[in-house]
Amino acid sequence: MKKLTFVAFAAALVGMVAQGAPTVEIAAVERLPVVAIADYCQTNGVVSVRRNMAEAILKAGCLPVVLPEMEDAAADQFLSHCDAVMIGGGIKGQDYPRRCAYEERVIALAVKRGMPIIGICHGCQVINRHFGGTLAAVPDDRKLVHKDVKRFERTGERAEHPVTVSRGGSLMVGVFGEGALTVNSSHYMRCQKIASGFRVTAKADDGVVEAIEHERLPIFGFQFHPEVYWTKDARFLELLRLALRGKRK
């Protein structure tokens, strides 16, 4: 009997759950890219990941796994079994500095391995700061809302606003084309000085940077939330699919 790797077994299990089938043909299962999601490092002792993040990664044809906080040597060995790294969003709390420190350690390890790195919301900011950029508060502009707390509490939906996708051969252009695009938003911090080696690929009308990518390495930062917005615009799922594979188009 043919032995299965963990990834093949997990892929088969995902196929069974997704299709609702009692059995699945193992030999036909393609190896799916494995995405390590850095743990939120919550002080309540819970290792967690948001469900919509896991579901979006599955929909993008990848397998999500949680990368708990651990020493660098163990984290590096963990990453040797993965194909990409995801740094997600979240809110500040007493564990925020610890969380950021761990995420930056994970980024450094992933860079050494040449792995695709995707940062969403808070993750975009961590990537920019890790490479030498700076952060600042979002300007108080009532004409353009980046974080609508009341709307989120009432409906679970984030604010929406337009951005302009930059010219050039970026991933954003490859998926959406140049010009106007509507994104969802939930943040009160922003990337101010952009780190060396990165370029801005989308910007809001008030000047807030909404997407960055490295000029050479497969590293992408999205200030908006494609892991949620793809249900309204399928192109955001394609954005994730390409980014998780380190592709630009």
Domain ranges of the chain: 1-31, 32-244
CB neighbour list of residue 151: distance below 8 Å, 6 or more residues apart = 157, 158, 159
Q: Which two tokens stand for residue 130?
A: 């890790």
Q: Which amino acid is at 13?
A: L
Q: Between residues 30 and 241, which one has the greater pLDDT?
A: 241
Residue 203, phi then psi, degrees to nearest 5: -145, 140
Q: Is the pLDDT of residue 241 over 50?
A: yes
Q: Is the pLDDT of residue 21 over 50?
A: no
Rounded to whole angstroms, the Cα distance separating 201 from 183 reads 13
**Top mean-pLDDT range of 68-77, 93-102, 131-140, 161-170:** 68-77
Taking the whole predicted model, whether its pTM rises above 0.95 is answered as: no
Q: Is the pLDDT of residue 8 over 70?
A: no
Q: Is the pLDDT of residue 210 over 90?
A: yes
How does strand 84-87 pair with strand 63-67? unpaired
pLDDT tens digits for range 78-121: 999 999 999 998 767 668 888 899 999 999 999 999 999 999 99
Q: Between residues 239 and 248, which one has the greater pLDDT?
A: 239
> Please, what CATH class does the domain formed by 32-244 belong to?
alpha beta
**Top mean-pLDDT range of 5-9, 11-15, 107-111, 151-155:** 107-111
Rounded to whole angstroms, the Cα distance separating 109 from 205 reads 35
Q: Quick one: which of 108, 68, 64, 71 has its CA closest to 86?
A: 64
Q: Is the pLDDT of residue 199 over 90?
A: yes
